Amino acid sequence: MKLCMIGTGYVGLVSGVCFSDLGNDVICVDKDLDKINLLKKGQVPIYEPGLSELVVKNYRNKKLKFSTNLKKSIQESDIIFICVGTPTKKGGTSADLSQIYNVAKEISLSINKFKIIITKSTVPVTTGDEIERIISKRNNKNRFSVVSNPEFLREGEAIRDFTYPDRIVIGSNDLKSNRVLKNLYSPLISKGAQYIHTSRRAAELIKYASNAFLATKVTFINEIANLCEKTGINVEDISIGMGLDKRIGSRFLRAGPAYGGSCFPKDTKAITSTANRFKTDLSVIKSVIRSNENRSNLLLSRVYEILNKKIKNKKITFLGVTFKANTDDMRDSSSLSMIPALSKKGAIIRYFDPTGYKKEFEKIKNVSFINNIKKSLIGSDLVIIHTEWNDFKSLNFKQIIKGKKFIIYDMRNIYSPSKIKSQGFKYFSIGR
């Protein structure tokens, strides 16, 4: 099939590349010429394991094209995926849909034959209705169909998540586009993915409800971890004990820092904002947002306690600053609030991250990037394991430092407390 992906961010690029790998002819369009030129050279602007190999392979065999020409790309394709960003509105909580509606206007000017137009971007309930309204201003309704097909891939696992999804959700109000899309996804369905067809509005809400539920699960275990710390219980026992109940499930029950990334913070806010618009109070999700926003302060107060409230001139090393492992994404990472707060109190911060230097800390006083794990640790007073990269999972701290021992605050519960303590280190972790 001939597909056009509009927007080459995480969702657009990964889905486009994976669709081309399944044998479709895919054009990925972006208005950013530099990005498109880089992609044509096989250079991928995001860190995502396995992605650049697939870009190179499918670009070479001409299944994958890159372009800045939106009109031509739309006209050459049968299925158009809208994959542009829906960030939180500045100073608000609702999703900024300006990019979506601009694209809808462009599509309305370019329809030359029947098109299936799909939102893969995460969009609030009724956005599909509005896209349909915009396009029908210039086109007869039998010339196009607007469908919702939310994407559930995780950064760092994106290719696997695309190829082996738990489910494929198609929200369309007509059966013809449903048939075409079932066919498009048939290679994944035959490998075991569940395919569900719903109304367009339901598909839009499934995405938000899923992300809000996962964010709730993480926040729930984070709060239980707080209680475990006060009662001398190991939160991991709780996660295992709860997770074995099939109704609960063991995933997304790892306690840690505040959740971050490009989706959970944005989508939890957006769903409450949509609910407000429909005069419905999503009080559980609102409380999750509040709890998560407070979590970095809570962990910071633990840091102050660990250092006996003497932060000035303390050398603190962060291992990992991205919001999770296997990504270079800094969006809403809890390090973005913790590092400036510690710097303000006079700490000297060094950080190591496998994805390198971060411009986000450029202007923060006394913060420096060290390009080597060992060097970043030597001379520290406190080491904070912030992100669960494999690189940090089997460090021999005893061998690394010869002299003064640092304190370790393991925010991802990577190490066994008894093992590290037996090596003479002061060790703190989350909920145990």
Q: What is the binding site for ligand UDX (CB under 6 A)?
A: 151-155, 211, 214, 218, 252-254, 256, 259-264, 323-324
Which amino acid is present at 43? Answer: Q
Tell me whether residue 21 or residue 151 sits nearer to ligand UDX (CB atom). 151
Q: Kindly state the smallest distance separating residue 264's Cβ from ligand UDX, in Å.
A: 5
Residue in 396, 300, 390, 283 with CA at minimum distance from that of residue 342: 300
Please say which residue, 65 or 256, places its beta carbon nearer to ligand UDX.
256
The residue written with tokens 């709730």 in the block is: 216
CB burial of residue 150 (10 Å; 0-12, 13-18, 19+): buried
Note whether 282 and 271 are within 8 A (CB): yes
Minimum Å distance from CB 342 to ligand UDX?
19
Residue 77 vs 127, nearer CB to ligand UDX: 127
CA nearest 391: which of 376, 406, 369, 407?
376
- Strand 144-148 and strand 315-319: the pairing is unpaired
Q: Please, what is the minimum distance in Å from the beta carbon of residue 117 to ligand UDX?
A: 21
Structure-token pair, residue 133: 């309204």
Close Cβ partners of 213 (under 8 Å, ≥ 6 residues apart): none
CB of 252 to ligand UDX, least distance (A): 4
C-beta of 167 vs 426, nearer to ligand UDX: 167
Per the DSSP assignment, residues forming a β-bridge with 117 are 80, 146
358 residue type, one letter: K
Task: Tell me how far, at minimum, the Cβ of 211 lies from ligand UDX, in Å.
Answer: 6
Number of H helices, E strands in the chain: 17, 14
Q: Which amino acid is at 311?
A: I
Residue least distant from ligand UDX (Cβ): 263
Measured from the CB of residue 399, what is the shortest distance to ligand UDX in angstroms? 29
CA distances from 332 to 50, 78, 87, 291, 402 (A): 24, 36, 12, 15, 36
Residue 360 contacts residue 330 (beta carbons within 8 Å): yes
Listing DSSP states for 50-66 in one string gives THHHHHHHHHHTTSEEE
Nearer to ligand UDX, 221 or 275 (CB): 221
CB atoms within 10 A of CB 381: 19
- Report the run of H or E that residue 351 belongs to, with start and end: strand 348-352
CB 23 → ligand UDX: shortest distance, Å? 24
As measured in angstroms, the least distance from the Cβ of 157 to ligand UDX is 7
- Measured from the CB atom, the residue of 74 and 83 that comes closer to ligand UDX is 83
Establish whether 18 is a catalytic residue. no
Structure tokens at 279: 């005069």
Candidates 128, 75, 134; CA nearest to 104 is 134
Catalytic option among 4, 18, 28, 263: 263
Report the amino acid identity of residue 186.
S
> CA–CA distance from 47 to each of 156, 261, 323 (Å)?
8, 14, 13
By beta-carbon proximity to ligand UDX, the closer residue of 74 and 430 is 430
Catalytic residue numbers read 263
